[in-house]
Amino acid sequence: MSSLKVFILLVLILVSGMPKLMACGTIEGKGLHCTLLTSSSEIPVGENIDEEMFFYFKNLEILEPYLLTDKTPVAVGSKNHGPYDLSSDTMTWGEGRFLVDRDTWELTVRSVVDIRFDCQLLAAPLKKIMDHFRPQIDELMSDNTSSE
């Protein structure tokens, strides 16, 4: 094979992988703030689904923050859902359990019934996440100090 053919083949391989690599870079460091659309009465018993959910993208993985109430002091932890997969139309993670339509930013959490959320893309997710949890942290902290 001539060196020109090898070069062209190499360029084609690199270019075909570029959109996914570039898409990952554009979402890295950002997050999602999702608000429940599905009626809470339709959510199966035992599903741990809040009316608001947050996710943020770090090191090509997706993290879901939650309140660590068993720690002193109370803190915000995060569940690592592992790597996310981007296409031009969707974003998925959690072995396909979570699916985001990238045109509408609607999140579907697949369960016995599909649970839908309306999401907003956040440029600075950690501030928004801390603002969301701050009232709950303050309340738990004041309960702890008043019980001592």
Q: Which residue has the higher pLDDT, 55 or 138?
A: 55
Q: Which residue has the higher pLDDT, 143 or 23?
A: 143
Enumerate the domain spans of the chain: 3-146
Instruction: Report whether 34 contacts 117 (CB < 8 A).
Output: yes
∠ CA 62-83-137 to the nearest 5 degrees?
20
Report, as an integer, the average pLDDT of 127-141: 86
Q: Using CA atoms, how far apart are residues 40 and 69, in angstroms rounded to an integer? A: 24
Give the model's pLDDT for residue 2. Answer: 67
Q: Using CA atoms, how far apart are residues 85 and 87, in angstroms rounded to an integer? A: 7
| CA end-to-end span of the chain | 79
CA nearest to 33, candidates 47, 49, 51, 48: 51
Task: Kindly report the pTM of this predicted structure.
Answer: 0.74
Residue 89 has pLDDT above 70, yes or no: yes
Give the model's pLDDT for residue 3. Answer: 63
Q: Which residue has the higher pLDDT, 141 or 80?
A: 80
Give the model's pLDDT for residue 43. Answer: 81
Structure confidence at residue 135 as a pLDDT band (50, 70, 90) = confident
